[in-house]
Chains A and B, each alone.
Chain A
């Protein structure tokens, strides 16, 4: 595997779209489309963690699947390490899978119950016809040790492990081929709090050790603040705000981000009365028929006429801080 280059862009995404067609009738004519991802532009630098956050249905998981090319984008461009992978075929994509791997949310359904841990973690070597120096078994045991599992458990089956341990197995499999980019789809949300912290720490240690680049998909804003370098807030298939961590959490500009942050429950009883919470009304509108203009205007307390007509551009309002809003908050202050 190539040695990691120190800095620079690893992944760049331009105008990424994924529309799932809705077909009806005998002729299966397309009557509409679920606009799951609708025009994303962002980039990820080597060694950093970018998190995608948003409510369910905002398109964050679809984005993850597009980046790993488990889905084919409707339009737009994905460039990984200087190579355009947006429309590569299955077979052309296969060698690149060494570089992009995925961690799944559910540690129960993402491991084959009929395979031993050895087979599961060794599968990437077999599929990519990679011969590790000291044999597959040795490599797998090293990986198990790396993620904090007992290498003696090589011959055990997934059901013999707890949720947190299974997630570690999934992480070991992900690391087998020393990928450059790891897309982690809700890697800790299925785990208990005490175990969640163990896995978060493990992911951070591995990042430091192997200079990994993460695209983290998550909905828990506290975890996201802990692990990310930069955060992108998504709503109905679009990025509403993208900024580095400190800037986003301390000076959120988009009203949606402000509302999300204010809704996070905080383990402090004294804040219960003091806290001014922004209550968003209703649910996320359907991505089949997203609102025209700003997609958030139906739930936004700052919305005015212009929001219903004109879609705001994702503009850079402070260095490295972009937001798509006509009436952003926290602008003009000291940066």
Chain B
């Protein structure tokens, strides 16, 4: 395996490590074009964590797969720019992306049982990932694998390295996958629902582990989840996605303390919370997420939004622009600012 030549584009100079600009991922199907991701822009710096939150079908996993270059060739139409340390990954030769994958960017998948190969030992799989990118002897790689397993908290790593995935418990498999992802010290780590399949006590262990490792390696982390509690634990910034677009993006503190988009209000209102008095009734968002083939005209959230139509017909005819409303807080919503503050203060906040 050849090493990637360090080109002169080595950014370092203040540019975010990962920048996504106007990313579109469309899948042509017999029923029409599925616009899974539509005009999405965000960036993540080294040492920071971005949480991407949304329901199923909001495009969060498709985004992460396109950053990793894991969409099948021909199946997806990808446009826009994905800049990893200044280099655009969209349209880059697949072999070149393959050399970056694992080395500079790595991914933790939701279900470690299906993401790991059942036929090879855990050790063999970590060794393989390591040796693809580093020319070292098998013994050295094996030593490295054992160290990594110890680092992620697997007991008896020397003997467990020769176990098969099915011999590990769910939490240990997730740790092993994190070890695999970390084998080449990636600078960008994408965690797609890393704890959804796990019990709360194990979830807490894994979240702590991701946080510790990030501090150690100073990597950029993208955390994809539907659980607002999980992002609150880890994320510095949060992007809320709906129907393939970002609807709100700000710091984690802003999103939880003064969310501005009705969809974010809805998400916060629908989850029961342990840190508050028990409410008599949850406040669900009515309806279901839209089909991505027939995204509603205007604001895609308008059929489910309790406040649609407060600004004339705009919600139904015009797509709201994703704009800065001050302090880097971005939202895509037609609600007039005054109304929005009023609704948040009077109606939403007291109920949360």
Q: Which residues of A contact B (CB under 8 A)?
A: 55-56, 162-165, 192-198, 200-201, 204, 219, 221-223, 225-226, 245, 249, 259-261, 263-272, 277, 279-280, 282-284
Instruction: Evaluate contact between A266 and B207: CB separation under 8 angstroms.
Output: no
Give chain A residues whose Cβ lies under 8 Å from the Cβ of B257.
269-270
Instruction: Evaluate contact between A270 and B253: CB separation under 8 angstroms.
Output: yes
Give chain A residues whose Cβ lies under 8 Å from the Cβ of B172.
283
Chosen A-B contacts, 24 in total, with CB atoms closer than 8 Å, are A56-B170, A194-B284, A195-B55, A196-B270, A196-B271, A196-B284, A197-B269, A197-B271, A198-B286, A200-B272, A201-B281, A221-B274, A222-B273, A245-B278, A260-B200, A265-B230, A266-B273, A266-B275, A269-B253, A277-B204, A279-B208, A280-B204, A282-B155, A283-B171
Complex Cα–Cα for A200 and B285 (A): 13
Contact with A along B151-180 (1 / 0, CB 8 A): 000010000000000000111100000000
Main secondary structure of the interface of A (DSSP, over half): helix
Instruction: Evaluate contact between B200 and A267: CB separation under 8 angstroms.
Output: no
A265 (CB) vs chain B CBs: closest residue = B229
A199 (CB) vs chain B CBs: closest residue = B284
Give chain B residues whose Cβ lies under 8 Å from the Cβ of A261.
274
Instruction: Evaluate contact between A193 and B55: CB separation under 8 angstroms.
Output: yes
B171 (CB) vs chain A CBs: closest residue = A283
Give chain A residues whose Cβ lies under 8 Å from the Cβ of B282.
197, 200-201, 226
Q: Contact check: which of A164, A225, A270, A283 meets B288 at CB < 8 Å? A: A164
- Starting from the known contacts A196-B271, A197-B284, A267-B268, 10 additional A-B residue pairs (CB-CB under 8 Å) come to A55-B201, A56-B170, A192-B55, A197-B270, A222-B272, A226-B279, A264-B229, A266-B274, A267-B273, A269-B252
Complex Cα–Cα for A271 and B227 (A): 16
Instruction: Evaluate contact between B256 and A269: CB separation under 8 angstroms.
Output: yes
Give chain A residues whose Cβ lies under 8 Å from the Cβ of B252.
269
Give chain B residues whose Cβ lies under 8 Å from the Cβ of A283.
169, 171-172, 202
**Residues A280 and B285 in contact in the complex (CB < 8 Å), given A193-B267, A266-B232:** no
Contact with A along B70-87 (1 / 0, CB 8 A): 000000000000000000
Give chain B residues whose Cβ lies under 8 Å from the Cβ of A223.
272
Instruction: Evaluate contact between B270 and A267: CB separation under 8 angstroms.
Output: no
Q: Flag whether B43 is at the interface (Cβ < 8 A).
A: no
Q: Flag whether B321 is at the interface (Cβ < 8 A).
A: no
Q: Flag whether B266 is at the interface (Cβ < 8 A).
A: yes
Number of interface residues of B (CB under 8 A): 48
Give chain B residues whose Cβ lies under 8 Å from the Cβ of A259.
201
Complex Cα–Cα for A257 and B207 (A): 20
B206 to chain A, nearest CB (A): 11
Complex Cα–Cα for A249 and B277 (A): 11
Tell me the number of A-to-B contacts counted with CB atoms below 8 Å: 127
Complex Cα–Cα for A195 and B288 (A): 7
Give chain A residues whose Cβ lies under 8 Å from the Cβ of B271.
193, 196-197, 222, 267
Give chain B residues whose Cβ lies under 8 Å from the Cβ of A164.
288
Give chain A residues whose Cβ lies under 8 Å from the Cβ of B233.
265, 272
B57 to chain A, nearest CB (A): 9
B326 to chain A, nearest CB (A): 19
Give chain B residues whose Cβ lies under 8 Å from the Cβ of A266.
229, 232, 273-275
Q: Which of B212-237 contact A (CB under 8 A)?
A: 226-233
Give chain B residues whose Cβ lies under 8 Å from the Cβ of A270.
253, 257
Q: Which of B193-211 contact A (CB under 8 A)?
A: 199-205, 207-208
Give chain A residues whose Cβ lies under 8 Å from the Cβ of B155.
282
A223 (CB) vs chain B CBs: closest residue = B272
**Residues A267 and B170 in contact in the complex (CB < 8 Å), given A197-B283, A222-B271, A249-B274:** no
Instruction: Evaluate contact between B284 and A267: CB separation under 8 angstroms.
Output: no
Most buried by A among B233, B267, B279: B233
B288 (CB) vs chain A CBs: closest residue = A162
Instruction: Evaluate contact between A268 and B232: CB separation under 8 angstroms.
Output: yes
A-B complex: 5 closest residue pairs judged by Cβ atoms:
A265-B229, A197-B284, A197-B270, A226-B272, A197-B282
